[in-house]
Amino acid sequence: GRKLKKSTEYLTYLLFSLTIISFICFIYFYQINTTIAYFLMPTRLWEMSIGSLLFLSVLKKNKFVDKIYNMKPLYPFLAIISILFIPEYLGVLSTTLIIIFTTILICCLKEKTLIYKLFNQRYVLLIGLMSYSIYLWHWSILSIFKWSVNSSWWSIPLQILLIALLSVISYKILELPIRKN
């Protein structure tokens, strides 16, 4: 690809096409089987490829991306927070909006802004570093509690504590040593 004069342009067209196809599959399968839409790679590819398209757009000095770059990061951040209150039955809309506003936030996030400082807090960075461990443990804990105590309101703090504890343990005992070696 690097030998071709227009390799970046071809990659952009390919990614854009795959993004559209994946997004259409996501919308289609979300209506008939949300499990497929959520767990299968072809229906989730569009979410990751949006980031790749953003990167390619920044490389190419895209005018649209330049306008987004100058936006205040507080606006997309507040939009993301407000999307969390959209009802679950509007899952396609909320997922799409989250991806769009997260992409915008990544594009316009600059040092010395309030949101940048928030994301660079010690505990926020630690959560980011441990996100894979959290991802691995959260579903197991939530499922066990749902099957055993039906996820009562009183069990939520215990669930959060267990997810955090197991995530820290697996991060320090498994993930860090493997990454360092």
pLDDT tens for each residue of 40-80: 999 999 999 999 998 888 877 777 787 888 889 999 999 99
What per-residue confidence (pLDDT) applies to 23? 97
What per-residue confidence (pLDDT) applies to 100? 94
Q: Compute CA distances 142 → 19, 88, 152, whole Å.
A: 31, 18, 11
- Between CA 173 and CA 181 the distance in angstroms is 13
Q: Which amino acid is at 22?
A: S
Collapsed DSSP state (helix, strand, coil) of residue 112: coil
- DSSP designation for 88: G
Please classify residue 35 by burial: count the beta carbons closer than 10 Å to its beta carbon, then call 0-12 exposed, 13-18 middle and 19+ buried.
exposed
- Between CA 159 and CA 102 the distance in angstroms is 27
What per-residue confidence (pLDDT) applies to 64? 79
What per-residue confidence (pLDDT) applies to 168? 93
- Between CA 58 and CA 66 the distance in angstroms is 8
Q: What is the mean pLDDT of each run of 10 residues along the chain (181 residues)?
A: 71 94 96 91 94 86 80 93 93 95 92 90 91 90 84 83 94 89 83
